[in-house]
């Protein structure tokens, strides 16, 4: 799609940077904090459209592979998405002794499902994604992430994730919440009723991992989730991964377990059999739970 075809009211911004190297740049529509934002030099617009829920674009970049943008916000680049998807998936799956049934909420790009399918113990993966167009677009333009969605172990439900979890009991060994930021429809996934429903959705040794923002930029959000999650889950932890194209370069996750300690039993034998990894290792797994001093002020894990 040519630049002139994109409507002016679009949340996705493209502009020529005359004071930099000439070319077309994408600029994230949100300010990350401390007066900073993200700009990425792009070659072309591969897809741009609007679904019933949001505005979606896939851009070809100069140096970072393909870039997925939703409502003007960077969702992922092929350059660094592995740091996010490997850590959200392999941390819980290598702690659980037999993760046979897995639910992924959000994650319509397919990256989390791709990583989950690397575990032969997994017999069924349910993907609950509210926006069918995200899956359709990523299947076509981001096959490096979405190709696993056609695996026979995968079943896709185009439903609201909060309602999906509330309607199921003791159904999954692992739940992975690959959500957007806590604004608009995604806000409910950061609230106590959802975390309580998620606990009931898990089997006896169940683990849930939820995307929960940056320790540098989103202290109130993280603090709020911690305040109720620590009462619900005996095995609670917070860990993070390094993703250069995300705000502050860091994004974190809550590890919510009914029984299992996130550091008590990393299965190194199974980890050694995983193929195609770029970021995850048992060493990174353990290190990711070591929080800097300022974060321990509002995440006082013992």
Catalytic residues: 178
Please answer whether residues 134 and 51 qualify as being in contact, where contact means their C-beta atoms are separated by less than 8 angstroms.
yes
Name the phi and psi angles at 72, rounded to 5. Answer: 80, 5
CA distance 262 to 44: 42
- Measured distance CA(240)–CA(285) in Å, rounded: 9
Please name the residue that has the structure tokens 């850590």.
Answer: 87
Q: What whole-number distance in Å separates Cα of residue 209 and Cα of residue 115?
A: 14
Distance CA 86, CA 176 (A): 12
Handedness of CA 63, 64, 68, 73 (dihedral sign): negative
* Triad 255, 257, 260: Cα angle to 5°: 110
User: String of b and e for 53-81 (b: at least 16 CB within 10 Å)?
Assistant: ebbbbbbebeebebbbbbbbbbbbbbbbb
């Amino acid at each position: 799609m040519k630049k002139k075809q994109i409507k002016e009211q679009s949340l996705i911004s493209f502009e020529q940077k005359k004071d930099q190297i000439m070319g077309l740049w994408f600029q994230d529509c949100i300010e990350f904090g401390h007066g900073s934002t993200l700009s990425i030099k792009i070659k072309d617009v591969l897809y741009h459209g609007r679904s019933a829920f949001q505005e979606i674009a896939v851009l070809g970049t100069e140096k970072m592979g393909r870039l997925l943008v939703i409502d003007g916000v960077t969702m992922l680049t092929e350059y660094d998405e592995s740091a996010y998807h490997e850590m959200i998936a392999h941390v819980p799956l290598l702690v659980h002794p037999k993760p046979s049934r897995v639910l992924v909420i959000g994650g319509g790009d397919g990256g989390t499902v791709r990583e989950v399918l690397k575990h032969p113990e997994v017999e069924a993966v349910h993907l609950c994604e509210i926006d069918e167009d995200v899956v359709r677009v990523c299947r076509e333009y981001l096959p490096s992430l979405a190709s696993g969605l056609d695996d026979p172990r995968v079943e896709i439900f185009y439903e609201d994730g909060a309602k999906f979890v509330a309607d199921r009991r003791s159904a999954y060994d692992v739940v992975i919440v690959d959500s957007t930021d806590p604004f608009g429809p995604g806000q409910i996934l950061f609230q106590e009723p959802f975390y309580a429903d998620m606990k009931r959705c898990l089997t006896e040794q169940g683990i849930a991992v939820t995307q929960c923002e940056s320790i540098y930029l989103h202290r109130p959000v993280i603090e709020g989730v911690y305040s109720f999650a620590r009462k619900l889950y005996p095995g609670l932890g917070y860990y993070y991964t390094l993703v250069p194209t995300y705000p502050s370069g860091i994004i974190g996750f809550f590890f919510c377990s009914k029984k299992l300690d996130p550091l008590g039993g990393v299965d190194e034998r199974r980890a050694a059999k995983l193929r195609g990894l770029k970021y995850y290792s048992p060493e990174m797994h353990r290190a990711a739970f070591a929080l800097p001093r300022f974060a321990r002020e509002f995440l006082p894990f013992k």
